[in-house]
Chain A
Amino acid sequence: MKENSPDEPAKTGKSDSSTKPSQLSRRTFLGNIATVGIATTAAPLLQVGELDAQQVHQPTTDVAEAPTSAGTIPVSLKINGQTKNLQIEPRVTLLDALREHLGLFGTKKGCDHGQCGACTVHVNGRRVNSCLTFAIMHQGDEITTVEGLAKNGELHPVQAAFLEHDAFQCGYCTSGQIMSAVALLKEPCGKDDDAIRECMSGNICRCGAYTNIVAAVRSVRGGA
């Protein structure tokens, strides 16, 4: 996501690093974008609406800034075969637990609303959106992230296929694409390319690398 969005006023002259470039923080801006998301249109946000006095918007913080604050509880997660003990708030999503608390940055935050698939991980062997579930709900589950796919220094065949077929451009959606493709191999999914596209439709690629993504998935499934 670009720092300068088309919706922000154009900056003129030299930018002064000591002044705030915008009223919106990057996080807030991204949050607002995500509320509209892919499935809908940005138009309603551009319409000036009457502010609902009883629904004053509060800044959201779904990342626990202080892991030892009074609201935290112990949470034990099994990630890529290793047990990790955390002290987090119940509102920490599985995605934020992975990225912000465990330093596993392979899983990406895209829309943060289940609309893009960048955060796809496996829970007990099934692919899920880690942004739409709380870490505390997964104690005892087997969680696999993209970091857990390679074994003994060998890439998973899907990872190798993505390299072989150049199945990405910027790479931001790639870990989610790969996690989906690995799960797809064990799911009921038709044989042709249309079936691959349908089964991969939960992962959006902004660069539009779909042709090569389909080729990579096809090659791992033993197709042409």
Chain B
Amino acid sequence: MYDFQYTKAGDVGQAVTSVSPTGAKFVAGGTTLIDLMKLDVERPKLLVDINGLPLDRIEPEGDGGLKIGAMVRNSDLAHDEQVQRLYPVLSQALLSGASPQLRNMATTGGNLLQRTRCYYFRDVNYPCNKRNPGSGCSAMDGFNRIHAVLGTSSHCIATHPSDMAVAMMALGATIFVTGPKGNRSIPITKFYLLPGTTPEHENVLAAGELITHVTLPPPAQNAKSHYLKRRDRASYEFALASAAVIVELDGRKIRKAQAAMGGVGTIPWRSPEAEHELAGAEATDRNFRRAAEAALRGAKGHKDNTFKIELAKRTLVRALQTVTQA
């Protein structure tokens, strides 16, 4: 690992000021960053430790929503009574990710910024457009079973690995940041960037911006939600395909549905196409399948990951069956 300077920020303003030098990075839980530093994929010159910042609260919002501090640990968020009651999809997604130890470390802000598990991104001996722009994509014709089928480009097919972000994508979370130019809020649907020709740019955060908190809109009265994750092991494994669904039922009729998928997209994948098919439809297997076909219509398989297209459809169907059960 390359050497670096270290400083601990006492407050948010100090954190933003401290991270201004080129090559400086925030460190929170460290579960992605330190892992990648050991692989020489990340080589920060300065680490600004934000673990002392008072951003670790989960608070009800006046409108019935929830405000989640960026430093709230994944385990605390998953087991929070309000989250379990109002947003079960988020608790389920969090508990399906990583291990208890990692969830005790990983933070809400850090999880949103999790980096891909693409083998070639993680190995500096291989060309990778995300790690080293313009060098080429080794996954395109390499081993790409775990890679994305949605939102890909000829430059990158790396999958976004987060479960939490998929649930937040379905819930329509808003991400609040502060930085050298002040505060702003970003809907999560506008936060992530498709790889296109610049896979090194993964989100809209500007240099020096710090995520301070995330808000969730109030849950609809009769909404039910569910997270389903499919993977190679029963636990402690990244998704091959996952689905986060929130459905408002009126009898057997779907008043409104929100759906996002994980393990299949270059970003946490919201599917307005599936939502459009479901809105106003009866909660039947045939309509669930129709929604799943719509969600994956633009999917593009590569050598080893074509199976994900059907797996994702069935995962979405199963999640919808589960959430609409009486």
List A contacts of B235 (CB < 8 A). 197-198, 201
**Interface of B, helix, strand, loop or mixed by DSSP:** loop
**Interface status of B31 (Cβ within 8 A of chain A):** yes
Known: A44-B119, A54-B135, A180-B100. A132 touches B4 (CB 8 A): no
Instruction: Write out, one digit per residue, whether chain A residues 29-57 have a CB within 8 A of any chain B CB (1) or not (0).
Output: 00100111001110111010111101101
Q: How near does chain A come to B239, taking the closest CB pair, in angstroms? A: 11
The 5 closest A-B pairs by CB, nearest first: A202-B99, A201-B235, A90-B6, A44-B119, A55-B124
Chain A contributes a number of interface residues (CB within 8 A of B) equal to: 53
| Stretch touching chain A among B101-109, B171-179, B260-268 | B101-109
**Cα-based distance from A127 to B99 in the complex (angstroms):** 10
Name A125's closest neighbour in chain B (CB-CB): B104
Are the C-beta atoms of A49 and B127 separated by less than 8 Å? yes
The segment out of B35-43, B183-191, B210-218, B242-250 that lies at the interface is: B35-43
Residues of B with C-beta under 8 A to A35: 39, 122-123
List the one stretch of A12-20, A112-120, A161-169 in contact with chain B.
Answer: A112-120
Please give the distance in Å from B234's CB to the nearest CB on chain A.
8
- Chain A: minimal CB distance from B153 (Å): 20
Q: Is the CB of B1 within 8 A of A61?
A: yes
Beyond the given A44-B142, A133-B34, A134-B47, please list 20 additional residue pairs across the A-B interface where CB-CB is below 8 A: A34-B38, A43-B143, A44-B126, A49-B126, A54-B135, A60-B1, A60-B40, A61-B1, A90-B4, A90-B47, A91-B1, A114-B101, A117-B101, A132-B30, A137-B27, A137-B30, A183-B100, A188-B79, A201-B234, A201-B235
Asked if A50 and B35 sit within 8 Å, CB to CB, the answer is no
Q: Nearest-CB distance from B29 to chain A (Å)?
A: 8
Q: Is B132 an interface residue (CB 8 A)?
A: yes
Measured in the bound complex, the distance between the Cα atoms of B58 and A143 in whole Å is 26
Q: What are 26 A-B contacts defined by CB distance under 8 Å?
A: A35-B123, A40-B117, A40-B146, A45-B123, A47-B142, A49-B142, A52-B127, A55-B125, A58-B40, A89-B3, A114-B99, A114-B102, A132-B105, A133-B105, A134-B6, A180-B101, A183-B100, A197-B234, A197-B235, A199-B100, A201-B99, A201-B235, A201-B236, A202-B98, A202-B99, A202-B236
A7 at the interface (CB under 8 A from B): no
- A-B contacts counted at CB < 8 A amount to 144
| Contact present for A137 and B104 (CB under 8 Å) | no
Let me know if A159 is at the binding interface, CB within 8 A. Answer: no
In the complex, whether A129 has a CB less than 8 A from a CB of chain B is yes
Whether a CB of chain A sits under 8 angstroms from the CB of B237 is: yes
The interface size bin for chain B is 35 or more
Question: Which residues of B198-237 are within 8 A (CB) of A?
Answer: 234-237
Given A44-B119, A47-B143, A133-B30, verify A55-B131 contact (CB < 8 Å).
Answer: yes
Whether A202 lies near B102 (C-beta < 8 A) is yes
Per-residue CB contact flags for chain A residues 123-153 toward chain B (1 = under 8 Å, else 0) read 0001111001110110000000000000000
Q: Judging by beta carbons under 8 Å apart, are B101 and A128 in contact?
A: yes
Report the minimum CB–CB distance from B49 to chain A (whole Å). Answer: 6
Given the interface pairs A52-B126, A127-B101, A137-B30, the reply to whether A39 lies near B1 with Cβ below 8 Å is no
Give the residues in chain A near B6, CB-CB below 8 Å. Answer: 73, 90, 134, 136
